[in-house]
Amino acid sequence: MHRKLINQARINVILEPRGPVLIKTGQAQTAGEEVEMAFVRTRHAVLGETVYLPGSSLKGILRSHCERIARTVGVHCCDPFRTEDEYKNKPDYFCGKRYENETDIPKRYRCACRICQLFGSTVFASRFAIPDAYPLACGDGQDPNRYLEKRTNVGIDRFKGSSSPRALFSLEVVTGGEFHTTIHMENFELWQLGLVGLALRDLGQELVPIGMGKARGLGRVQATVEWVELTYHGQRVAEDQQVMERLGDGQRFTLLDQGQTGVYGVGAFLSADERGCYGYRAEDQVTVPVAVTVESDWLSVCCRFPRDEGQPGISGAAEQLFERCVLDRWASLAGRPVQEGCDEPVKGG
């Protein structure tokens, strides 16, 4: 399914530290360095040398939290650390190892756990991507690193239970500012959009710390979803933007109707044979009770779901979108039957 682009989601996210945050650089520190634990840095075309939040760290945090959500509601997900032969016949055996010799490519996706279907594994690519998050561009002429702060900590003597003067160390943390990034999802199903919405909601409520030192109070951040854009490729609008028409065969999909917006997952646009190969659902569509802005270019249609200005977290049309995807799609996966043709039980098929 990666050979053609059917639908695409872009989610603009702002991350604001609500306390000290430390994502430690992987470079070795020398005796002459000012701090033993320095914040990761890079060189940006506009900002120059700057701190940033690596996309790899953000994706790992979101994937880990999505696994927690899945296990909470009873949706099967594998354990990427269970790769040894002793786990081979167990349900949580890593999908990448379970299907590494599978020659049927659609089956790799169809039978993989829900988390691997979204975030990928070692046998197929991810549908989810999040680039590095950079500080707000400094049009005011201020230094993007102005929220950096040096802190000194001390280790605890395990015998005395008091501070150990020989275990003194310093670290560099970010205590404020805004870091901007945009999540990309390609050929998504609506349950995938709902699951990401759940993770972003918890991140917006400061429930998902990032970086190191979480047990010492570091890593608390708040996420704000600025807007969500859903793009349907190979489509054009008709009838005053009320209907979306597919190029080639003229099949129509309702976009706007009586103040509501139709939203479609990848399964709604495929033939029965394609859906069967990958385990997609034909009825992968929901109705969101808000009317949004619709734009169209030569070969695609784009719907934009904004948030309410001045409200942190997720609000407005974006909140309505995620809510419908969660209630109509993600919440129902726990009771779904086992996928046909898979070697091991996979809930949520």
Asked if residue 218 has pLDDT above 60, the reply is: yes
* Average pLDDT rounded to a whole number, residues 30-38: 67
Asked if residue 41 has pLDDT above 50, the reply is: yes
Asked if residue 221 has pLDDT above 90, the reply is: yes
- Residues 58, 210 contacting (CB under 8 angstroms): yes
- Least reliable range by pLDDT among 39-43, 237-241, 297-301: 237-241
Q: How high is the pLDDT of residue 292?
A: 94
Distance CA 172, CA 265 (A): 43
Q: Predicted confidence band at 346 (pLDDT cuts at 50, 70, 90)?
A: very low
Asked if residue 78 has pLDDT above 80, the reply is: yes
Asked if residue 30 has pLDDT above 60, the reply is: no
Q: How high is the pLDDT of residue 205?
A: 93
Q: How high is the pLDDT of residue 86?
A: 84
CB atoms near residue 103 (< 10 Å): 7
Q: How high is the pLDDT of residue 213?
A: 84
Look up residue 102 and give its two tokens.
């599978």
Give the residue with greater pLDDT, 6 vs 336. Answer: 6
Percent of the chain clearing pLDDT 70 (strictly above): 89
Asked if residue 1 has pLDDT above 80, the reply is: no
* Average pLDDT rounded to a whole number, residues 14-38: 78
Which amino acid belongs to residue 171?
L
Torsion angles phi and psi, residue 119, rounded to 5: -95, -5
Look up residue 181 and give its two tokens.
């990034």
pLDDT tens per residue, range 120-158: 999 999 999 999 999 975 445 567 678 888 887 777 777
β-pairing verdict for 300-306 and 128-129 = unpaired
Q: How high is the pLDDT of residue 44?
A: 86
Q: Helices 190-204 and 55-72 sit at what angle, rounded to 10 degrees?
A: 110
Q: How high is the pLDDT of residue 165?
A: 66
Asked if residue 104 has pLDDT above 60, the reply is: yes
Residue 311 Ramachandran class (φ > 0 left, ψ -120 to 50 alpha, else beta): beta
Mean of pLDDT over the chain: 87
Q: Predicted confidence band at 33 (pLDDT cuts at 50, 70, 90)?
A: low
Asked if residue 42 has pLDDT above 60, the reply is: yes
pLDDT tens per residue, range 293-335: 999 988 999 999 999 877 778 889 999 999 999 999 998 887 6
Look up residue 9 and give its two tokens.
């989601």
Q: How high is the pLDDT of residue 151?
A: 80
Q: Which residues, 6+ apart, have CB-to-CB distance to 153 below 8 Å?
A: 168, 169, 170, 171, 216
Asked if residue 349 has pLDDT above 50, the reply is: no
Predicted structure pTM score: 0.90
Distance CA 295, CA 304 (A): 8
CB atoms near residue 334 (< 10 Å): 14
Domain boundaries, the chain: 7-335
pLDDT tens per residue, range 265-303: 999 999 998 898 898 988 899 999 999 999 998 899 999
Give the residue with greater pLDDT, 105 vs 192. Answer: 192
Look up residue 275 and give its two tokens.
């859906």
- Least reliable range by pLDDT among 1-10, 104-113, 164-173, 269-278: 164-173
Largest CA-CA distance found in the chain, in angstroms, rounded: 77
Distance CA 216, CA 173 (A): 13
* Average pLDDT rounded to a whole number, residues 57-67: 96
Which amino acid belongs to residue 249?
D
- Give the chain as a 3 state SS string: CCCCCCEEEEEEEEEEECCCECCECCCCCCCCCCCCECECEEEECCCEEEECECHHHHHHHHHHHHHHHHHHCCCCCCCCCCCCHHHCCCCCCCHHHHCCCCCCHHHHHHHCCHHHHHHCCCCCCCCEECCCEEECCCCCCCCCCCCEEEEEEEEECCCCCCEEEEEEEEEEEECCCCEEEEEEEECCCHHHHHHHHHHHHHHHCCCCCCCCCHHHCCCCEEEEEEEEEEEEECEEEECCCCEEEECCCCCEEECEECCEEEEECHHHHCCHHHHHHHCCCCCCEEEECCCCEEEECCCEEEEEEECCCCCCCCCHHHHHHHHHHHHHCHHHHHHCCCCCCCCCCCCCC
- Residues 15, 24 contacting (CB under 8 angstroms): no
